[in-house]
Chains A and B, each alone.
Chain A
């Protein structure tokens, strides 16, 4: 049993949630734990292109599927337009919420080439930002959608 993680086929670990597998054996840092109850958005990943919480999903559920985390979107050398836009807008304070938010924004930009602000707000509604950087985050997503992207 295997799945695709950030473009690489990997063996499916046993037991626990997808988030525990990503942060545990796979050693990733992007997805964060915030509630373990699908209520804060910190742990979102792309599952077959759709943004989903990974904190309550049994890891077995991703067998044969495609998982992308923040690390898989881009790198400092080859950033995703959202990553560039978040830095340009300085969209964040502590940054704990950003991985999940950028993942949901990426899913939105795949669905809709030019979402308006209301569509961005709706896509980010599952996500909390307690530093209250919301307006910068909205600006960053709207800036990124103006750029060409993958």
Chain B
């Protein structure tokens, strides 16, 4: 989802991951005389543990103690531009770049040591950064710091270690950031306190499209108004909260929202495209329709940013997923050159996709413009998180399937209707930040788009079944009206696409009188898909309310099968989940399991609890009471098995399990109740 956007073919020799587009070794690595190595990844920590995984990779390849590795938070103008941290691609893009860069750096240093000492490289070993020859030490990385040895383009010939020689990679190294979080040390952007910092609170239009008519002066705070953007800035959080609550602006009526999402999904204008087409169509023997509502990100933390203007230069601290992309859109919205803006990453609460992190950065920049030289911290409220952040769009999927006399699948045809799943900043001519259309001279919010299938797709993600089917037609209508701002949330279109495919496969198995695992295997020639399906089938004992599902994330990433056991009385509860996943090489097995389990439980929450609601004018599910999510009492037990393949490229873990978990729960509901769910969430009213 990230580099996929700018992988225009070029003539340069191919380098792994983001190294291809950030080719200088010194962009990534810097040895320092104090015995440390500074690593500058362009990817950011979102709670997924990427910093720990990258440390393992670099320490392994350089042969240094991981304690010597210091990571610089991604900073525009300094860190390599790795676009967006998303799509479970950070190990592929940043990890593989750093592995190659570190291997190259190691061999450059080794050859210099060899030339200077006359000892052949084969006779030198590296021990915690020191080069040791047959007769003793020959120097270290740190001795040669500052000699400019990494001022070179990475060589495509560099050879990372073979899998068997890795020591740290493949072990469950503990998370580097967790101790600070367990002891309450400052680690989050929320914990940053700049000298003289002021606090901003925004006051939002009460309905979509409402215009600001008038506003009186705030008490104990400074008013910030630019077009329809309204905020207050005060010396403390309490003062800012109070001033915002007492400000009673008057707004025009809004432009309204479609009151009936179902009807809107069917009728809204859009752009048609063919996702896949092979063979010929045939009259269906089974037709099913699947629907899902809007979902919210609903991070426990609140979006936050700090900004300070020094003359024409703007510095922003942000938990954005893409510092360069954010800088580009801030520049468009604020009418300043991109190089006048520095974005520095600071960790936020868990991020599961394109949330309001970028939006609040523009809020902070607009507020700080009123207080030159003085930093301003902007913080969203819970209602802004749930009611003004981008949502994952509602979708409608229709499937027509045809089987032969033996019940085997011969034709698959499906059609998806949805808004685009990507409205991320930094990719178009117009800024996509929440407040950008509101400020004077602002452009309307562009309708979100879908990445191409080769980059994982958006609405069409996982719409092509992994099963062998001779005749295949998959179509997509990207709805071009966007009454509710829609963008990427964990899994994107895969959530409904995997569920709809697996639901139909389950139903076809039942019609054919064949066991659901056996039926899938009949249509599955991909050996790695078969392996995860067979593994999870062996882990999960058959019981009432048992369901199973399998997918390969984006049809390009990790293979994952999930089995679920559900109980249904007055509502459905998921009691147990089993996960088997093949993500190729695994950098940190415990981290991978943590991500897979997190994704599967996120699937449980979406399957059974979540639905963003609106009326004719606004999002109404803007509190934890109106947007309930999974809590401790309803969390199922989870058992996870990794099928690791150290020789294979690493594939991300964060999103692979979510869609199969939803699909397995749907199958379990059918097993328990005899009803096949067709509408998410699987609540009593939808069953």
Minimum C-beta distance from B171 to chain A (A): 13
Q: Which residues of A contact B600 (CB under 8 A)?
A: 132
Say yes or no: is B174 at the interface (Cβ < 8 Å to chain A): yes
Q: Mark A105-138, 1 if CB is under 8 A from B, else 0.
A: 0000000000000001110110111111111101
Q: Is A8 an interface residue (CB 8 A)?
A: no
Contact B46 A70 (CB under 8 A): no
**Per a CB cutoff under 8 Å, which of B47, B183, B382 touches A37?**
B382
The 8 Å CB contact of B175, one of A90, A96, A99, is A90
Q: Which residues of B contact A37 (CB under 8 A)?
A: 382, 623-624
- B24 interface residue per 8 A CB criterion: no
Residue pair B632, A121 in contact (C-beta under 8 Å): yes
Asked if B203 is at the interface of the complex by the 8 Å CB criterion, the answer is no
When C-beta atoms are compared, the residue in chain B nearest to A96 turns out to be B349
When distances are taken between beta carbons in the complex, the residues of chain A under 8 Å from B188 are: 29, 32, 96
Is A5 among interface residues, defined by CB-CB distance under 8 A?
A: no
Q: Which listed segment binds A: B84-92, B333-341, B633-641, B670-678?
A: B633-641
Taking the closest CB of chain B, its distance from the CB of A92, in whole angstroms, is 6
A93-B49 contact in complex given A70-B183, A131-B350, C-beta closer than 8 Å:
yes
Report B-chain residues with C-beta under 8 Å of the C-beta of A83: 182-183
Q: B591 contacts which chain A residues (CB < 8 A)? A: 90
Q: When A29-B184, A69-B184, A95-B187 are in contact, do A39 and B179 touch as well, CB less than 8 Å?
A: no
Kindly identify which residue among B184, B301, B638 contacts A30, using a CB–CB cutoff of 8 Å: B184
Taken together as a complex, chains A and B put the C-alpha atoms of A129 and B635 apart, in Å, by 11
Give the docked Cα–Cα distance between A129 and B631 (Å). 8
Shortest Cβ distance from A69 into chain B, in angstroms?
A: 7
- The answer on a CB contact under 8 Å between A34 and B300 is yes
- The answer to whether the Cβ of B519 comes within 8 Å of any Cβ in the partner chain is no
Chain A, residue nearest B595 (CB)? A93
List the A side residues contacting B597 at CB < 8 Å.
132-133, 135-136
Q: Contact: B238 with A93, CB < 8 Å?
A: no
Asked if B507 is at the interface of the complex by the 8 Å CB criterion, the answer is: no
CB of B386, distance to nearest CB on chain A (Å): 10
Beta-carbon contacts under 8 Å, A27-73 to B: 27-30, 32-37, 39-40, 42, 69-71
> How far in angstroms is the closest Cβ of chain A from B490?
11
**A75 at the B interface (CB under 8 A):** yes
Contact of B638 among A36, A76, A135 (CB under 8 A): A135
**Contact-residue bracket for chain B:** 35 or more
- Cα A96 to Cα B187 in complex, Å, equals 10
- Counting chain A CB atoms within 10 Å of each CB, the highest count among B174, B595, B597, B638 belongs to B597
- The answer to whether B7 has its CB under 8 Å from any CB of chain A is no
- Chain B nearest Cβ from A42, distance in angstroms: 6
B191 contact set on A, CB distance < 8 A: 29
Residues of B contacting A69 with CB < 8 Å?
Answer: 184
Does A98 sit within 8 A of B, measured CB to CB? Answer: yes
Bound form: Cα–Cα A87–B174 in Å:
8
Of the candidates A27, A29, A94, A132, which one forms a contact with B301 in the assembled complex, judged by CB atoms under 8 Å apart? A94
Is A4's beta carbon under 8 Å from chain B?
Answer: no
Let me know if A125 and B184 touch, CB within 8 A.
Answer: no
Min CB–CB distance A71 → chain B (angstroms): 4
Q: Is the CB of A24 within 8 A of B182?
A: no
How near does chain A come to B382, taking the closest CB pair, in angstroms? Answer: 4
Residues of B within 8 Å of A142, CB to CB, are: none
Cα distance A74–B184 when bound, in Å?
10
Does B178 contact A20, Cβ atoms closer than 8 Å? no
Minimum Cβ distance to chain B for residue A93 (Å): 4
Contact: B629 with A128, CB < 8 Å? yes
Question: Please, which residues of chain B bring their CB within 8 A of the CB of A86?
Answer: 178, 182
Question: Residue B298 at the A interface, CB < 8 A?
Answer: yes
Could you tell me if B181 and A131 are in contact, using CB atoms closer than 8 angstroms? Answer: no
B301: nearest residue on chain A (CB-CB)?
A: A96
Nearest neighbor of A71 in chain B, beta-carbon distance: B184
Q: How far apart are the CA atoms of A132 and B599 in the complex, in Å? A: 8
Query: Which A residues touch B629, using CB under 8 A?
Result: 128, 130
- Partner-B contacts on A (CB < 8 A): 15-17, 20, 23-24, 27-30, 32-37, 39-40, 42, 69-71, 74-76, 79, 83, 86-87, 90, 92-99, 102, 120-122, 124-125, 127-136, 138
- The 20 sampled A-B contact pairs (Cβ below 8 Å) are A24-B238, A32-B188, A33-B190, A34-B302, A35-B623, A83-B182, A90-B172, A95-B181, A96-B350, A121-B632, A129-B300, A130-B299, A130-B352, A130-B629, A131-B350, A132-B598, A132-B602, A134-B601, A135-B635, A138-B632
